[in-house]
Chain A
Amino acid sequence: MSTEARSLSFEGIAKSFGGIEAIRPLSLDVKAGEFLTLLGPSGSGKTTLLNIAAGFVIPDAGRLRIGADDVTALSPRKRDIGMVFQNYALFPHMTVFENVAYGLRVRGQPRHEIERRVKDALGMARLDGHEDRAIGQLSGGQQQRVALARALVIEPAVLLMDEPLGALDRQLRKHVQLEIRRLHRELRRTTLNVTHDQEEALVMSDRIAVMRDGNIEQVGTPAELYRQPANVFVASFLGESNILTGRVTQLANGSARVALSEHQIEVVGEGAMGLSVGMDAGVLIRPEALALSEAGAGLPARVVELVYLGDIVAIRLKLPHGSELWCRRFSSADMPEEGRDVRLSWRDQDVRIIPMLSSPREAD
C-alpha cells in the first residue's frame, strides 16, 4: 500500500482479440496525481486500455509501468490499484462498512486501523451513518460513493474508473461529477477514468485522451482539445461544432487559408498540424463564435429554427447551398425570428483549420 501517488505509463501497448486490433501500439503517460480521462465512442478501445492497466487484460506487446516499476506481468492484486467498476461490483452479501473494509481486511490490517480508515473514507464520501446498511438498500448515487470509498480506502497508487457515472441519472451525474472532482483535488490520486460522455470528461479531467479505433487521436487539457482539436473527429466529439469542408490554398506560419468552393468564399483560420496545400480540410467554427447581423458583410444564411435551452438559445441556420450551421448565444429580447435572412460573421482567430482524419489513419 502506498501513500504516494505514482505515475502510470503505457509504453507501446498493443492488444488484439481474435485478429481484431482493439489497441494499436500506443503510448500514454498519466502523471503522478493527474486525473486523465480516456474519452471515445464504444469500441474505441478505452475500456480495453483500462483493463490492461488493471491487469484484467494482458497486452500482446509493450510495457506498463506504475512509477518506475514494470507491472506488465503482475496480477491485479499485486498492482496497488483501486478500481471503480461500471456497475460498481459491490459485494451484495456485505454491508457498506464490510465492502469498504474489504481491501484492508484481505491485507490483514489490524482491526482498529481498519475501523479508523473505513470511517475516514466513508466520511470523505459523505456516507457517515450508513455503515450497517445493506447494499440493496442504497440509492444509485450512494452505491457509486461506496464503490469510490472502497477503491480509495486502500490508498492505491493509481485509481481506475470504468464509466463511473454511467448508471446514474442525468441530474445526479452532474452532482457526482463535481463530487469526484472535489475528491481528486483533495487527495491528488493518480486517476485513469473511462467515459463516452464528453461533458463528464471536460468537467472532471486534468487531461483527456480522445480515442478512436484503438488509437489515441489527441491528448490534452479540456481547453486545448476544445480550442485546438487535432482533427475533425476530436472537434466533433468534444462540444458542439460547425464543420465546413474545403481545400487548403495557402499555409503560412500557423495559419491556413481554405477555399469553400460550395459557398464561393475563402476562410482564414489557425491551422493545425498535418496540413498541406491542396489537401481537403475541415473548417471548425464553434457555435458561440458565430455572430449574426441583419445586414452588412458576411455569409448569407436563413434562420430555420430557434431552440431555447434556458440561458442559451441555439439557432439553426441554413446556408444557400444547403449545409446547416448552429449558432449559440445568450437568451435576450432581440432574437432573430425564424425564417429571417441574416448575415454570419466570425473572427479569424476563432476559426480552426483541421485535417479531416489523423495522419496515421491515412497510412493504413
Chain B
Amino acid sequence: MVEGSLGNWRLARQSTAGSATIRSQRLGQICVTGALLGPVLIFLATCFIAPLGELLSLSFSSSAGPLASYREIAASGVYRQVFTNTLILAFNVALIACLLAYPTAYMLSRLRGFALSVALWCVLFPLWISVLVRTFAWILLLGENGPVNRILMSGDLISRPISFLFNSTGVYIGMVHVLLPYALLPIYTAMRNVDQPLLLASDGLGASPFQTFARIYLPLTMPGVAAGFLLVFLLALGFYITPAMLGGMKNMTVAMLIDLFVTEQLVWPLAAAGAFWLLLLVLLLLLVASRFVNLTATVAAR
C-alpha cells in the first residue's frame, strides 16, 4: 500500500519534471551502482588483476624469447603428463564427490528442525578445520600401522597392510574428503527447491517410484549436481596441500609442478607459464561445457 502510493507519487513527479529529471535519475542510478560495486572492484584490481598481469608479463620474460616458457612446457612429455594427470584427478574427484554427495544430500533434504541443524553442522564443521590438519589426520589414519590397517588386519580381512599413502588412493581419499561439502551444498539446495507436489503429480499419473526419480527428481536436481561438480572440479585443479602430502612423485599435479619450478629450480617464467597454461585449459573446458550446460543458471540460484 505504502509502496504503491510512493510509486504513484514518483510517477507524478517524473511526468511534471520532464525528461531532464529522468536523465538525472539515471545518472543517480549509475552512481549508486558504482558505489555499491566500487570496494570490491578496487580490491580485485589491486589484489588480483594487477598481480595476475605481473605474472603474465613474468611468463613472457624468459631469456630464450617471449613464448619460450610456454613452448617448453607444451613440448615436454613429462609436463604434459602432469597436466593430464591433474585434469583426470580433478574430474574423478568431482565425480566421486557428486556420487557420494547425492544420496547424502537427499537424506539431508528430508530432515527438518533439530535433526537438520545437527546434520548441517556435521557437514560444515570440517570446513572450519585447516586442510593441513585434516590431511595430517589422514596420514595418521591411513599409515601402515594406522587404525584403518590395524582394524582390517585384526578382522583377518587382509594379511598385509594396504599402502594407502603416497599413491593415488591416498590422494583420492584426502581430496574427496576435503571437497565433499562443496558438492553437497549445491545439490542439497537444488533438492530443497524441488516442489513436492511435482512428485505427487508423477505418482498420481501412474509413474513408479523409479520413474518419478529418473524423469522428475533427477532432472530437476541436475543443475545442483552440475554446480557441485564444477565447483569441486575447479577447486581440485588447483589443489596443492593434499596431493603434495598424501601422493607420491607419480601423482604430481600442476600445482606441485609450479611449486617445484619456484622452490627447487628457481625458474619463475616457467612457473608463470605453467599457471597460465592451466588457466587457458580451464577456460577452454568451460567454453566447451557451456555448449552443453547452462553455466550461469548452474551457479546462480533460479
Contacts and interface: CB of A to CB of B under 8 A. Distances in A.
Given A89-B195, A91-B216, A92-B220, A106 B204 contact: no
B197 A102 contact: no
Interface in B208-246: 208, 211, 215-216, 219-220
A104 B202 CA distance: 11
A170 interface: no
A77 interface: yes
Contacts of A93: 219-220
Interface stretch (A80-88, A193-201, A205-213, A235-243): A80-88
A76 interface: yes
A56 interface: yes
Interface residues of A, number: 26
Nearest to B216: A91
A307 B207 CA distance: 53
Contact of A106 (B195, B215, B219, B220): B215
B198 interface: yes
Contacts of A82: 204-205
Interface string A88-99: 010111000000
Contacts of B205: 77, 82-83, 102-103, 106, 150-151, 154
B7 to A, nearest CB: 21
Contacts of A92: 198, 220
A54 B220 contact: no
B162 interface: no
A76 B198 contact: no
Interface string B165-209: 000000000000000000000000000000101101111111110
A75 B203 contact: yes
A81 B205 CA distance: 7
Contacts of A89: 195, 197-198, 200-201
A150 B205 CA distance: 8
Contacts of B201: 83, 85, 89, 91
A321 interface: no
The bracket for how many chain B residues form the interface is 10 to 19
Given A85-B197, A93-B219, A106 B203 contact: no
A107 interface: yes
Interface string A10-31: 0000000000000000000000
A86 B216 CA distance: 19
A77 B202 CA distance: 8
Nearest to A79: B204
B204 A54 contact: yes
A223 B220 CA distance: 47
Contacts of A83: 200-201, 204-205
Interface in A57-93: 75-79, 81-83, 85-87, 89, 91-93
Contacts of B203: 75-77
A78 to B, nearest CB: 8
B196 to A, nearest CB: 9
B191 to A, nearest CB: 15
B197 A77 contact: no
Contacts of A107: 206
A258 B96 CA distance: 80
A70 to B, nearest CB: 19
Interface string A299-324: 00000000000000000000000000
Interface in A103-124: 103, 105-107
A175 B232 CA distance: 52
Interface centre among B201, B204, B211, B216 (most CB of A within 10 A): B204
Interface string A138-182: 000000000000110010000000000000000000000000000
A107 B197 CA distance: 20
Given A81-B204, A102-B215, 13 more contacts: A56-B200, A75-B203, A83-B201, A85-B200, A89-B200, A91-B201, A93-B219, A93-B220, A102-B207, A103-B205, A105-B215, A106-B206, A106-B208
